[in-house]
Amino acid sequence: MTNDIAKLVLRLTVGIMMLFHGVDKIINGIGGVKHLIISAGLPEFIAYGVYVGEIVVPILILLGIYARVASLVLALNMVFAIFLAYGNSLFSLGKHGAPLFELPFLYLIMSILIFMLGSGKYAFNTK
C-alpha cells in the first residue's frame, strides 16, 4: 500500500508541476521553444510537440492512464529541453551552485522512475 501511495505522489507531483509549464505555453505561446528549435536547425513544427509533452502527457500521468508510455514521452521532451535550452552550457553552474539544467533533469529522472515503477494501484489503469 505504501508503494502505491508513493507512486501516486510521484505521478501527482510530476503531472501537476509539468502541467503548470504547459498552461504557461497556452497563455504566453511557444515563441521561445520555436526559437530554440529553429536555432538547432530543426523544422519549426516540432515546437508544437511541447503541447503534447507539457499538457497531454501530464494529464495522462496524473490520471494514471498509460502512465508508462506517457512518462517516456515526457522523458523525451525533457531530453530535448535539456539539449535545446542548455546544450551550450550543459556543465555550467547557476549562482547557487546547481547545474543550470537542474529542473528539466529532475523531471527527466522522475519520468524515468514513473516508467520503471508503473502507475500503481491508484490509477485508471494499473500498467
What are the angstrom distances between the C-alpha of 86 and each of 3, 92, 108?
A: 34, 9, 14
- Higher per-residue pLDDT: 96 or 118: 118
> What is the DSSP annotation of 54-96?
IIIHHHHHHHTSSHHHHHHHHHHHHHHHHHHHHGGGTT-B-TT
Number of Cβ within 10 Å of residue 16's Cβ equals 12
Q: Could you report the per-residue pLDDT of 48-102, keeping only the tens digit for each?
A: 999 999 999 999 999 999 999 999 999 999 999 999 888 777 778 878 888 888 8
pLDDT at 95: 81
In angstroms, the CA 40 to CA 113 distance is 29
pLDDT at 1: 77
pLDDT at 99: 83
- Higher per-residue pLDDT: 125 or 6: 6
Q: Which helix (H) or strand (E) element contains residue 11?
A: helix 2-28
HSE (CB half, 13 Å, CA atoms) of 76?
Answer: 12
pTM of the predicted protein model: 0.89
